[in-house]
Amino acid sequence: MTTQPETPDIDDLTRDIADVPAVELITTTAVHLLSAAAVNLGLAEDGEQHKDLDEARKLINALAGLLTAAAPDLSTYHAAPLRDGLKSLQLAFREASLVPDAPGTGPGEKFTGPVYG
């Protein structure tokens, strides 16, 4: 007699959103924005075919706004690497642009201030 493998209960596989700490939600969202912006900057494998600076600008703006708003609630442990990633994206955007934005007007710079390499 063969038995079918037991299908796991979906409730066992998911976490109730109420059980997820706010810092975890914020950092997870930030990492998704970082990753998507990097792809749209052409920094992923086969990057040139996914390059879209308009989309990257929107994602970097959203990331900068999120990190600026959440900074008081994030510890340096969580915030510092996210800020470093944001700065790297902002510099990569400037480098990828045919006509770079003036200092202070690049993506996210209204939240972070001018970014210099």
Measured over the CA atoms of residue 97, residue 103, residue 109 and residue 112, the dihedral's sign is positive
Of 92, 93, 85, 106, nearest in space to 34 by CA: 85
Segments of the chain with pLDDT less than 50: none
pLDDT score, position 8: 64
pLDDT score, position 1: 57
pLDDT score, position 97: 95
46: left (phi over 0), alpha (psi -120 to 50) or beta: left
Report CA dihedral (28, 69, 44, 84) to the nearest 10 degrees.
Answer: -100
pLDDT score, position 60: 98
* φ, ψ for residue 107, nearest 5 deg: -60, 130
